[in-house]
Amino acid sequence: MTIHHLEKNNSILNTFISEIRDITLQKDSLRFRRNIERIGEILSYELSKTLSYASTNTTTPLGVKNSNLFANDIVLCSILRAGLPLHQGLLNYFDGAENAFISAYRHHPNNTEDFEIIVEYFAAPSIENKTVLLADPMLATGQSLVAVYEAIKKHGNAKQIHIVAVIASAEGIDFIKNHFPENTHLWVATIDDELNDKGYIIPGLGDAGDLAFGTKL
């Protein structure tokens, strides 16, 4: 797996990351969603540099201009519900992409800290021989991403997979390395070192889905 850690290079991205972490600014859910979306746009731009391009002629009112234009069949797949603002940021740049949505959540069968990942819903076009962008803002234990990958690969063999995350844990990255194809790319804004005993990223930012859309029952 190739890891692209964007925070290593100073840019305006670091401001957006700081704001989504800030416990005071998090109270503004609109600002939180918009910052996740903007982080998605930055990740999209960097990711786009590694995709395929083809020489194409564009006719203007005064002549013809040859350019190298994007030439990939992309399926953008997001994990509900936390992935929706990140999905929108990716879609702002890859506006011709097909879209897929999948649910994955932590189930605590014994009301303890132990959990299993349940995948209940998947709506998608064919992913056969296409480039799949798998968006999940928080890559914590990595179990959700692996469960999602096991579900979607039943619907076709992707040409390539790009995982797009806002915050990842070092432990989660190590976990998914062993479950995704070797040519997978991980695009992540920032990486934190620790998980707590509940499997949440430390310092992280809390629950991205709750911060974006309100607390759930």
Packed helices 13-21 and 29-48: angle between N→C axes, nearest 10 degrees: 150
Q: What is the per-residue pLDDT for 79?
A: 87
Domain ranges of the chain: 2-52+70-213
What is the residue-averaged pLDDT of the chain? 91
Query: What is the distance between the alpha carbons of residues 135 and 184, in angstroms, rounded to a whole number?
Result: 13
pLDDT at 27 over 60: yes
Packed helices 170-177 and 143-152: angle between N→C axes, nearest 10 degrees: 30
Model confidence at 112, pLDDT cuts 50, 70, 90, reads low
**Nearest C-alpha neighbor of 163 from the set 68, 52, 78:** 78
pLDDT tens digits for range 177-201: 999 999 999 999 999 999 998 888 9
pLDDT at 154 over 90: no
Model confidence at 81, pLDDT cuts 50, 70, 90, reads confident
CATH architecture of structural domain 2-52+70-213: 3-Layer(aba) Sandwich (3.40)
- Residue 27 CA, distance from chain mean position: 23
Token pair for 2: 């190739």
The predicted model scores a pTM of 0.90
pLDDT at 110 over 70: no
109 prior amide bond cis, ω within 30: no
Query: What is the distance between the alpha carbons of residues 148 and 160, in angstroms, rounded to a whole number?
Result: 15
Ramachandran angles phi, psi of 8, nearest 5°: -60, -30
Do residues 141 and 175 touch, judged by C-beta distance below 8 A?
Answer: yes
Tally of CA atoms within 13 A in the half-sphere of 29 that contains its CB: 10
**Nearest C-alpha neighbor of 177 from the set 169, 12, 194:** 169
pLDDT at 68 over 70: yes
